[in-house]
Chain A
Amino acid sequence: MANPRDTAAVATYGDHEVIMPENKLRKAVTTRPYAAGEEDPVARAEQALAELSTEFGSWMEAECERLDKARHGLAAVVTKASIELLFHAAHDIKGEAATFGFPAVSAAADSLCRLIEHTPDINRIPLQLVDQHVDAVRAIYREYSRSDANELATLLTRRLREVTDEFLISENRDRPETIEQIVGAPPVAPV
């Protein structure tokens, strides 16, 4: 196995090294003029995604079923594994729903993720509140074609989040740094 460091430029300083590896990606930078139809790669990718979007409804349906199954698994037995399955299902919906064309579903899934992530003792997780979240996610998706769907989703999610925050602040009353995470900083990652 060739050592990639052999082809890197290394500058050594007092407590660190700065390494400039060989730029193997330079091969992809080109001055070749665009061929017909390839002028805008982002538009082409968006078009390809739009063509794929006929499948998004069934994908969302499958993700909601997965969430429902995970909720029943948690109700049957509260373990680290059953909690993780539910978190993972909610987390995937949070990240995918907007791409699938159902952005209003994301916020309810996000609230469920927060509930799971910040409940310090998994045996104290309120199953009724979990059920309410899962039912909300499924209902928002199911009723998405209604003209007032976004408004209802906002109201429902806001209430879920209020109840969740109230529970989490109480459960974490001895953990100020967790409370700061719950009520504090907005996301910093660029979209």
Chain B
Amino acid sequence: MPNRNPQLNADGALTHLLTLEGLPPAVIRHILDTAVPFVGIAEREVKKVPLLRGKAVFNLFFENSTRTRTTFEIAAKRLSADVINLNIGASSTSKGETLLDTVDNLVAMDADLFVVRHAQSGAPHLIASHLIAKGRTHVHVVNAGDGRHAHPTQGLLDLYTIRHYKGDFANLTVAVVGDVLHSRVARSLIHGLTTLGTAEVRVIGPRTLLPAHVESMGVQVYEDMRLGLANCDVVVMLRLQNERMKGALLPSAGEYFKHYGLTMDKLAAAKEDVIVMHPGPMNRGVEIDSAVADGARSVILPQVTFGIAVRMAVMSILAGA
């Protein structure tokens, strides 16, 4: 397997989207710029463009996610692609077919683009490397979330949202709050923000939910939420998975909310024009209070809208004619 990131080809062009780490700023800006006109398409009577007409997009979900799969499906359909959804879950491995066998079979069905979600970090890299090794350079992979590693289209839509409301990144302070340890959303956003020159990126959470040496990713670490939120322009709340609310990582959802749940009171430490983001789905009363989620500072629903435009941009750049 090549030890270089397989998402850029020898000419530096994007052939797969696997992670935001290591992407040149110009590539990220190009994706964001490409997404701008796609936001408008949703307001048209005919919400379609023919950029991927005749192309087959396979949503290859080894881990269930109705929401992410749906947004990719809508994005692909608005680009006029044929969309095939495969919820593989654990069933194919129990039948003995390996991940790469599945991929080879779908390539034989003339897939043009795979949207891959997998519980294991690095699974989309494995698929992309395999396609490169087999000379299938016309087939593209978009990582729709792999283990704790990356969720690059979520990171891009977060960047799009921040740029939409705040303009340039150079003077911004952004806080990412909660379960950074298990969060691919946090990793992708942090890489995107640091690549685009964000003035300060903070992570806030208890030590049990912060990965070792997280500061090596270029972030400031805060354990106290009020200190961490001081003078922030952007607050990104992370979802706390149900299975982590009670156990050795945290004593209870209630205690978590007390220390790290975003309330209007805690938000007052941030700048007056702060925006509040969340990748969804939200746990109201666990990581975020309804008054904030539904309040004037929340841009959580626009994130969803921008997400479709960003995914259209990514797919059209990779597989468009």
Q: Is the A/B pair a real complex?
A: no
A binding-site residues for B, Cβ under 8 Å? none
B binding-site residues for A, Cβ under 8 Å? none
